[in-house]
Amino acid sequence: MASFTKLEVLQLMANQGMVPLFYHPDVVLGKKVLKAIYKGGGRIIEFTNRGDYAHEVFGELNKFCTAELPGMMLGVGSITDPGTTAMYLQLGANFIVTASYREDVARTCNRRKVPYMPGCGTLTEIGIAEEMGCDIVKLFPGSIYGPGFVKAIKGPQPWTTIMPTGGVAPTKENLGAWFDAGVTCVGMGSKLIGKDILEKGDFKTLEKRTKDALSLIKKLRAKKK
């Protein structure tokens, strides 16, 4: 079962402002990724369910977080059905993310009081997701919709909390546009944990990228106040 409460996860997402995303079949490499993000100040990460036996990799990484990285919250993305959701919840997933809205996944997560972030692309989908208890909705693919979409939604619905994923980069221009538009946090994958880092095993760079991105987000938020 999840190690953290729903409220703890949602608060950390909002406070940290960034949720790194990654997948790799190698457990040893995955542990190094988690440790680099942790050393860079990251305390939450989304493991994407993309490869064969991905759940076995996740199980080992989640045990590693519990034993070696206190306070690290590990969740799962790229989920497509309630059965897979239940399997990952049994392995201790602290949150669930899908590419599109799934009512059956929402119900499964609600039964265990685990946060569910569905991918939404219309105001109607966002409204339905909120009615089903989704506190943060994922805007996906973010590169298609852009910050303007978020700003337009936040006008009539200031209570809506949005996490764009796809098209997010750790630059002042990119992050500045998203946070100026009113996002709660951003999901960041290859722009943060690139293939170059994984292939070269350059975890010092990953640690620095994480630290710099979190620092930049903090500065952008302070400026907005």
**For residue 223, is pLDDT > 90?**
no
Q: How far apart are CA 195 and CA 193, in angstroms?
A: 7
| Res 36: pLDDT | 98
**pLDDT over 90 for what percent of the chain?**
98
* Residue range 60-118, pLDDT digits in tens: 999 999 999 999 999 999 999 999 999 999 999 999 999 999 999 999 999 999 999 99
Q: Residue 18's pLDDT is what?
A: 98
Paired with 117 in beta bridges are 97
Q: Is the pLDDT of residue 225 over 80?
A: no
pLDDT of residue 115: 98
Predicted TM-score (pTM) of this structure: 0.96
Q: How far is CA 66 from the centre of its chain?
A: 19
Q: Which domains are assigned to the chain?
A: 6-219 (3.20.20.70)
Burial class (CB in 10 A: 0-12, 13-18, 19+), 127: middle
Torsion angle, CA of 107/109/115/116, rounded to 10 degrees?
Answer: -60
Biggest CA pair distance of the chain = 47
Separation of CA 160 from chain center: 17
